[in-house]
Amino acid sequence: MLTAKRFLEIGNSPIVEAMHQVAVLKAAGRDIISLAAGEPDFNTPEHIANAGKEAINAGKTKYTCESGLLALRKAICGKFKRDNNLFYTSEQVIASSGGKQIITNALIATLNPSEEAIIPAPYWTSYPNMVRINYGVPVIVKCSAENNFKLTPKQLEAALTNKTKLLFINSPGNPSGAVYTENELAALGEVVTSHPTLVVLADDVYEHTVYDQKFITPAQINSKLYERTITMNSVSKSYSMTGWRIGFAGGPEDIIQTMHKIQAQTTMHPSTISQHAAIAALTGPQTFVHQAQVIFKERRDLVCSLLNMIDGIECAIPQGAFYAYPSVGRLLGKYTPQGKTLQNDRDVMEYFLNEADVATVYGEAFGLSPYLRISYATSTELLTEACRRIDEACKKLK
């Protein structure tokens, strides 16, 4: 065994596995509707793509400083000020290759071996393994549908130990779509700041997809929480730029400078071409962001009402992101036409894939069952057809 031991307990990403499965079935000629991927279906806005092309044409294709171009860091500071009323200097921000690398850098920068990171479930599937890869211990706290999939101060307090170092707050949340209110964040903040070493990793990548309430990020709550929070974000979801790989963060200068150090020895900096495109995204017209939010809201309303009409499925209305997280609890124990009993949400996912040609992701992958994650980042026609197929498949269950 030549691989490091900690990788023995680290499996492959269930979302990536679901996407591979879809690709294989499609290649075999099956008409699969995929509601598995967390990716906006729009093209990158033209003015942003053009900024990338212009960078290539102008020869802006060389190394930049490890923390990103100063112009990009200034654009990030401007974005935090404009959208979040947060003030960071250019030494307090960093750009990396996607939000994923920002989170990885933040974990390397903060976690000592065996320190704990609290992860409210349901969570984005990558968090626990990212923590394990970086020698930390994920502490999963299940947040029930009764509390709208949100962490309560009482739960946070109960999870704290003298090894706790990090708390993940992902609002709007993937996969639940839960959005924390100002009061909820303030109450959690009281617990955070009463602990001597707790740092909040605020994952705001779905910031611009919030429907019926105001978006607020933990660092905005008060100066004590600001000093303890790494606010991370990315252009991936907001500007439909998943492939450009630009993420960014603002936070306490010592942590951000450590993240710079890590990046200098690993990837150096995100793609120079993408950095130029990200400057255009963050400083240019924000019309696309608002238009996408309106479209996602229409899709949310459609998919939730169609899902709630299906016997056996119950879907709470998500307040943000572009996922529905319906309970499939009432389908468990039923028999498929092939005589198999549906025992858990993975069985339900597989049944819908095989019987209805609809790909979803099972709740266990997000740490809370029995649910399915349904991405509605696809057209209303496909969403309507997918729900019709799921309904038909449910009707075949005994």
List contacts with ligand PLP (CB under 6 A). Answer: 38, 98-100, 124, 170, 174, 203, 205, 234, 236, 242, 247
In this complex, which beta carbon is closest to ligand PLP, that of residue 202 or of residue 394? 202
Minimum CB separation of residue 241 from ligand PLP in Å reads 8
d(CA 32, CA 36): 11
In this complex, which beta carbon is closest to ligand PLP, that of residue 16 or of residue 24? 16
Minimum CB separation of residue 149 from ligand PLP in Å reads 13
In this complex, which beta carbon is closest to ligand PLP, that of residue 141 or of residue 332? 141
Minimum CB separation of residue 124 from ligand PLP in Å reads 4
d(CA 52, CA 126): 29
Minimum CB separation of residue 179 from ligand PLP in Å reads 13
Minimum CB separation of residue 236 from ligand PLP in Å reads 3
Minimum CB separation of residue 101 from ligand PLP in Å reads 7
In this complex, which beta carbon is closest to ligand PLP, that of residue 86 or of residue 103? 103
Minimum CB separation of residue 25 from ligand PLP in Å reads 22
SS (H, E, C) the chain: CCCCHHHHHCCCCHHHHHHHHHHHHHHCCCCCEECCCCCCCCCCCHHHHHHHHHHHHCCCCCCCCCCCCHHHHHHHHHHHHHHHCCCCCHHHEEEECHHHHHHHHHHHHHCCCCCEEEEEECCCCHHHHHHHHCCCEEEEEECCHHHCCCCCHHHHHHHCCCCEEEEEEECCCCCCCCCCCHHHHHHHHHHHHHCCCCEEEEECCCCCCECCCCCCCHHHCCHHHHCCEEEEEEHHHHCCCHHHCCEEEECCHHHHHHHHHHHHHCCCCCCHHHHHHHHHHHHCCCHHHHHHHHHHHHHHHHHHHHHHCCCCCECCCCCECCEECCECHHHCCCECCCCCECCCHHHHHHHHHHHHCEECEEHHHHCCCCEEEEECCCCHHHHHHHHHHHHHHHHCCC
**What's at 351, amino acid-wise?**
Y
Minimum CB separation of residue 147 from ligand PLP in Å reads 19
In this complex, which beta carbon is closest to ligand PLP, that of residue 45 or of residue 98? 98
At residue 325, what are phi and psi to the nearest 5 degrees? -130, 70
Minimum CB separation of residue 325 from ligand PLP in Å reads 13
In this complex, which beta carbon is closest to ligand PLP, that of residue 67 or of residue 336? 67
In this complex, which beta carbon is closest to ligand PLP, that of residue 83 or of residue 357? 83
Q: Is residue 373 within 8 Å of 366, Cβ to Cβ? A: yes
Minimum CB separation of residue 375 from ligand PLP in Å reads 10
In this complex, which beta carbon is closest to ligand PLP, that of residue 174 or of residue 272? 174
In this complex, which beta carbon is closest to ligand PLP, that of residue 170 or of residue 327? 170
In this complex, which beta carbon is closest to ligand PLP, that of residue 205 or of residue 394? 205
Nearest to 215 by CA among 190, 236, 243, 185: 185
CB atoms within 10 A of CB 119: 24
